[in-house]
Amino acid sequence: MNGQEAKKTLVMQTFTDLVTLVYHEGRNVRHLVKDGRIDEPKRYSRLINLPCNRVGAWRVLQKLRDAARARADVTQVERVYSRHFGLTLEEMKRLFEHQGWRHSKSVGGNKWAAITDSVVQLRNALVDGRIEEAKRVADRTLSMCHNTGRVSKKLEDLDSAIRK
């Protein structure tokens, strides 16, 4: 494997981890549903059915993550999640842009819309074969802040928690 292929493999793994994290965070739509802020709650039933506990939800998502990691290209990785949850990354972004998240400090929300948008940009760079740009977008996404810290730290903490 040459340097470019190795870089692409690493970026693909990061993409898979980030997509897993986007859908993991999507489980918090349950708060909008509970508050009556979502018009089509059944549309989000698979997200809502993830465990409320962040570590429990992350543990459940590992089967999808493993299946996605076994895929050969970025569109197949995304398809693992969109088929399971019935929502594309763009639809997840729109969910996080929902006005019901305004002023949410600890779960979901508009910061995740920006993170999801960055994951979409990462996907697009990978689809187009722009590996150097994809690496930059992946690094930027990992350094983005969500409600309680950096994306990279959230991934690290969740992975650490399920290894215990």
Q: What is the pLDDT of residue 147?
A: 79
User: Residue 8: CB partners within 8 Å, gap ≥ 6?
Assistant: 126, 131, 134
Instruction: Read off the tokens for 20.
Output: 């897993």
User: Residue 144: CB partners within 8 Å, gap ≥ 6?
Assistant: 111, 114, 115, 118, 150, 151
d(CA 55, CA 39): 28
Q: Which of 10-24, 92-106, 143-157 has the highest mean pLDDT?
A: 10-24
Q: What is the pLDDT of residue 157?
A: 97
Q: What is the pLDDT of residue 114?
A: 94
**What average pLDDT does this structure show over 28-51?**
93
Residue 159 in this model has a pLDDT that exceeds 60: yes
**What average pLDDT does this structure show over 123-151?**
95
Radius of gyration of the chain (CA): 15
Computed over every residue of the chain, the mean pLDDT equals 93
**What average pLDDT does this structure show over 36-47?**
93
Q: What is the pLDDT of residue 104?
A: 58
Q: What is the pLDDT of residue 105?
A: 53
Residue 29 in this model has a pLDDT that exceeds 70: yes
Residue 161 in this model has a pLDDT that exceeds 90: yes
**What average pLDDT does this structure show over 105-131?**
89
**69 half-sphere exposure, CB direction, 13 A CA radius:** 12
Phi, psi (rounded to 5 degrees) for 150: -85, 150
Task: Give pLDDT tens digits for 58-107.
Answer: 999 999 999 999 998 999 999 999 999 999 999 999 999 998 877 655 55
Which percentage of the chain shows pLDDT scores above 90? 80
Q: Where are the domains of the chain?
A: 3-163
Residue 125 in this model has a pLDDT that exceeds 70: yes
